[in-house]
Amino acid sequence: MSPSAATIERLLGVPVVSVERVAPWEVARATLADGRTVIVKWGRAEGVDRAEPERFLAERSALEFVADLGLTPKLLAAGDGLLVMEDLGPRPSLRELLLDGDDTALVDFARTLGRLHAATVGRAEEYYAGLGAWADPSADRGAFLALWQDGVDHLADFGVPMSTAAAHELAAVIEEILEPGPFLALSNGDVGLNNYLVLGPGDGRLIDFEAAGFRSVLAEMTDIFTPGPMWVTLDDPAPLEAAYRAEFDVVDDRTFGRAVAGGVFVWAARRFATLPKIDARPAGELSRPHRIATLEAAAATAERFGCLPALTGWTLAGAAMLRKRWPDADIDLAALPPYTTRT
């Protein structure tokens, strides 16, 4: 249910003319008497990941913490279970532009992420002693690791068990994600192309900080190197990586590559938490080539950086098994255009 105009008026001190729900999200656009519009977000129901009040607190804390960077919407008011922020619309998300064949904002997206991480690295203690005092720092660092074991178990059930060497590599990766050292910075918790609104050339904003926290930001850079939930294919990650690293100057190539590749392998394992459901779907369903593409992209990322060979072998074996099991998905992914959507 959309919030009442009276509640928004109390928070802003400005009369509200109308409130229109922006379905299917818990978001509304309110028109003020002075002609401005604002975005209003409210709490999700119980039973979802990080239910209220944590999602409310995470977004409020993060937006206040980075308010002076100009990389996110401005938070105008908070209270009564509502967040009121500046309206960045009508502006397209990066995903919408890619679906229209326009990839010019991709490098800006990577650069904006780099700026956020560079501006917040080394500030976790400050955050958790202040605006983020409500949060559990260890839980924030471990949030990226959800469901990876389910994916590993399902692939083993389908005939691709993880070797001892691969398990050792993955254990080391997980330890590094939980203790990321120089890569501990603020993430919105959903580094997806749909969460970057493009205001103009060289100008965009990161949105959706409901799962924000300080964690290994390199491990979460998966949408640059592997297909996220919305894509079957990606483009060359090198220009995006270069733009990101120009802002977030992270040590040597080897250390950077291992952190990125480790996160990619965890992401690949997480994507297989639903493998039995995908296996039961009809032939031709695009989630099948998507899972194959995820495994092969993870292997290609590690090979590019020259690291984690046992995990690389595991993912390639998994991809080969699925190509054989799903003949409909045994396609030449390189022949598909970049950013082929899976929906």
Does 131 reside within a domain? yes
Tell me, yes or no, whether 245 and 299 share the same domain. Answer: yes
Last residue of a domain, one of 51, 86, 121: 86
- Mean pLDDT of the 129-153 span: 97
Residue-level pLDDT at 249: 85
225 exposed, middle or buried (CB, 10 Å; 0-12, 13-18, 19+)?
buried
Which phi-psi region, left, alpha or beta, contains residue 36 (left: φ > 0; alpha: ψ -120 to 50)? Answer: beta
Question: Domain total for the chain?
Answer: 2
Segment 162-216, tens digit of pLDDT: 999 999 999 999 999 999 999 999 999 999 899 999 998 889 999 999 999 999 9
Mean pLDDT of the chain: 94
Contact 43, 109 (CB under 8 A): no
Residue 17 has pLDDT above 90, yes or no: yes
Task: Answer yes or no: are the C-beta atoms of 216 and 183 closer than 8 Å.
Answer: yes
Same domain assignment for residues 53 and 121: no
Residue 287 in this model has a pLDDT that exceeds 90? yes
How far are the Cα atoms of 117, 227, 299, 305, 324 from residue 309, in angstroms, in the given order? 28, 21, 9, 10, 23
Q: Are residues 78 and 104 in the same domain?
A: no
The residue from 86, 108, 126 where one domain ends is 86
Asked if the model's pLDDT at residue 45 lies above 90, the reply is no
Residue 52: pLDDT band with limits 50, 70, 90? low
- Flag whether the pTM goes above 0.95: no
